[in-house]
Amino acid sequence: MVEQELQRLDAVFHALGDATRRRMLRELAAGERTVGELAKPFPISLAAASKHLKALENAGLIRREVRGRTHICRLDPGPLASAHEWLGFYECFWNKRLDALEALLREAQASPPPTSEGEQ
């Protein structure tokens, strides 16, 4: 079970690792689109767009429905929630580190600077 979750998370981050796929997901957040509509803003063929969509589909980030000869894609945000949860651990980690750094800086600002010998 844990291994499957890790594989799914790997697929999500792999899919999100490409700028074209991230832009396609952003388009799908506004509503369903055809493969042609998703490919249009990019200087790529429909075949290349389909490969990008297949990566998103393998990660579970999109659903594709065939209506006649038209492939309609829609966003499935569930796997994004899993990625967000995974990243949340590191958000807490960095927040704790940054809070500790802030406390050290405040302490340093509140302390008078050390004087060197000979200064009065």
How far is 111 from 16, CA to CA, in rounded Å? 46
Q: Report pLDDT for 48.
A: 95
Which CATH code for domain 2-77? 1.10.10.10
Q: Report pLDDT for 120.
A: 54
Q: Report pLDDT for 103.
A: 87
Which residues of the chain fall below pLDDT 50? none
Domain ranges of the chain: 2-77
Phi, psi dihedrals of residue 87, rounded to the nearest 5°: -70, -25
Global confidence as pTM: 0.72
Place of tokens 């506004």: 30
C-alpha closest to that of 11 among 70, 69, 74, 82: 82
Helix (H) or strand (E) holding 71: strand 70-75
